[in-house]
Amino acid sequence: MKQIDISTAFTKYVPYNFAFVLSHDKNNKPSGMIVAWHMKVSHEPPLMAVSIYNTQNTKKLIEQSKEFVLAVPNKKQLEAISIFGENHGDKIDKFKISKIKTKKAKFLKTPLLSEATLNYECEVIKKIKAGDHTIFIGKVLATHHNENEKILLCYGKGKNGKRIFKEF
Ligand SMILES: Cc1cc2nc3c(=O)[nH]c(=O)nc-3n(C[C@H](O)[C@H](O)[C@H](O)COP(=O)(O)O)c2cc1C
């Protein structure tokens, strides 16, 4: 075993799961991004955490609305993953451009992704500064499942620099 630099070690920790994290602005217009850094953190109460780079537009939306939807994708959302994961919501309307299908949430103003495998409706109960990221902990208020769908994993980047996704 040899010591390697920290950023290389971060990229070698694959495959990883990831999700859409969605929220809305003061006019209830939704936007969001892709997040790999997220996890379940408590059964009772049910809590999930997402770690968001401080400059992301979605961070501002979650701070203001105090809610987010975590939507776990399958291959039907492949095109939308690059739109949501490579563009900033203050520059483009990601929902409009991707034409991604939505459904009204049970408790939140943020929409669900109707074709995603899982949707978690989360109400923010805590915000933690973590270096260049901010961690939001959300209480899960409702969950929704498309039981015939699988989950996408990311296997890192290929030699062409593009991310490799496979269903699990
Ligand atoms: C597979 C994948 C995983 C990502 N994981 C994260 C993450 O964990 N945290 C983060 O802040 N950005 C992550 N990003 C980058 C954001 O999704 C991206 O910068 C997005 O354009 C931010 O949009 P916004 O400014 O509208 O919020 C990821 C992108 C991809 C494609």
Write the CB contacts of 159 (distance below 8 Å, at least 6 apart in sequence): none
Fold of the 14-167 domain: Pnp Oxidase; Chain A (2.30.110)
Pocket-testing residue among 14, 17, 34, 65, ligand 1, by greatest number of atoms within 8 A of Cβ: 34
pLDDT in tens, 1-43: 999 999 999 999 999 999 999 999 999 999 999 999 999 999 9
Domain ranges in the chain are 14-167
Helix (H, G, I), strand (E, B) or coil at 14: coil
Helix (H, G, I), strand (E, B) or coil at 81: helix
Residues with CB under 6 A from ligand 1: 18, 31, 33-37, 51-53, 56-58, 85-89, 154, 163
pLDDT in tens, 72-92: 999 999 999 999 999 999 999
| Residue 27, number of CB atoms within 10 A of its CB | 5
Q: Please identify, by atom number, the ligand 1 atom nearest to the C-alpha of residue 34.
A: 17
For the chain, the maximum distance between any two Cα atoms, rounded to a whole number of angstroms, is 53
